[in-house]
């Protein structure tokens, strides 16, 4: 995990306008992503975690330029793609691919598997039909599927098999980054483990980078190298996996880990109180967004937004409890 990062995000913002009335006048905006920054090296998995609606999936779509950022920089494969138009973006599409949450909805039911996983190759490489077919068979073998799957339709496969097919499609153009948005949440637990282990094996073989989006801390602890915790569009904490789970610094991270179920019914984890509902992103709290639910709230928290600073070596946290001054 050395050298230039595959992906570097700086000051990323995404604002969605709110229109009301017959004249469709802008009455406000939702700041879905608010000055987020991180990087991912080759062979590394950065996990984005947080409650639903915190902006995780929006970041994934911004990184792939399925959405245009309102501000900030997205540097992919050494090029700032933040302001590129659709035509200029085309050549960069092969550097970053996506695996979606729903293995049932992300594959075209009318196309055979062979067409689905080789179509991206056709878009970027001038290969003959026989060469594309051979590449498709090799991709299927890489994700643990038999060659006869090329001539079958998606409905003939289970959920776990479909997610393997989606992964084969993502790998077809040999990307340097895959954005995986809740890729195992729709699968049974035993199948989740198979897909996660496959992702890890493929990363070891190809040195690919993953931006892994999830709300399941058990999954994150299994696959992640580093973890970034989000709340209402902002990064609250970021550290390597072992450090974050052993010594979380932000009260929100502590609450998330304490609320995560454990397999041993005799185990009694630390209980961290967290009260109230997630505020509306249309009208988020001033200062620290988490102050309305934080058990350690101070007057400063209500007025001043904390910066993401080093609370410990290699451990970033946005909390006044750990900031100087």
pTM (2 d.p.): 0.91
In sequence order, what are the beta bridge partners of 16? 30
| Residue 271, pLDDT score | 60
The pair of three-digit structure tokens given for residue 276, joined into one six-digit string: 């109230």
Regions of the chain where pLDDT drops below 70 = 1-3, 262-273, 324-325
pLDDT digits (tens, 9 = 90+) for 168-191: 999 999 999 999 999 998 888 888
- pLDDT tens per residue across span 205-235: 999 999 999 999 999 999 999 999 999 999 9
Q: What is the pLDDT of residue 91?
A: 83
């Amino acid at each position: 995990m050395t050298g230039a990062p595959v992906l570097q995000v700086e000051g990323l913002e995404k604002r969605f306008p709110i229109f009301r009335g017959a004249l469709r006048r802008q009455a406000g905006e939702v700041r879905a992503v608010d000055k987020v920054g991180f990087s991912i090296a080759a062979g590394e998995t950065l996990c984005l975690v947080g409650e639903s609606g915190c902006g995780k999936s929006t970041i994934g779509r911004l990184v792939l330029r399925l959405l245009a950022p309102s501000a900030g920089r997205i540097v992919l494969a050494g090029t700032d793609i933040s302001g590129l138009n659709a035509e200029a973006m085309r050549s960069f599409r092969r550097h970053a691919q996506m695996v979606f949450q729903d293995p049932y909805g992300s594959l075209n039911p009318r196309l055979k598997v062979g067409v689905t996983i080789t179509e991206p190759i056709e878009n970027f490489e001038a290969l003959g039909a026989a060469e594309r077919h051979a590449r498709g068979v090799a991709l299927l073998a890489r994700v643990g599927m038999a060659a006869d799957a090329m001539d079958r339709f998606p409905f003939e496969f289970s959920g776990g098999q479909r997610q393997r097919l989606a992964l084969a499609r993502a790998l077809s153009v040999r990307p340097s980054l895959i954005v995986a948005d809740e890729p195992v949440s729709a699968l049974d637990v035993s199948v989740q483990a198979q897909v996660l282990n496959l992702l890890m094996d493929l990363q070891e073989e190809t040195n690919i980078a993953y931006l892994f989006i999830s709300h399941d801390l058990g999954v994150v602890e299994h696959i992640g190298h580093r973890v970034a915790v989000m709340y209402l569009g902002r990064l609250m904490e970021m550290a390597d996996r072992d450090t974050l789970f052993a010594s979380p610094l932000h009260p929100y991270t502590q609450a998330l880990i304490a609320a995560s179920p454990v397999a041993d019914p005799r185990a009694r984890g630390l209980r961290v109180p967290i009260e109230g509902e997630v505020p509306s992103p249309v009208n988020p709290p001033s200062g620290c967004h988490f102050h309305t639910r934080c058990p350690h709230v101070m007057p400063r928290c209500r007025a001043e937004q904390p910066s993401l600073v080093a609370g410990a070596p290699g451990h970033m946290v946005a909390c006044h409890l750990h900031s100087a001054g």
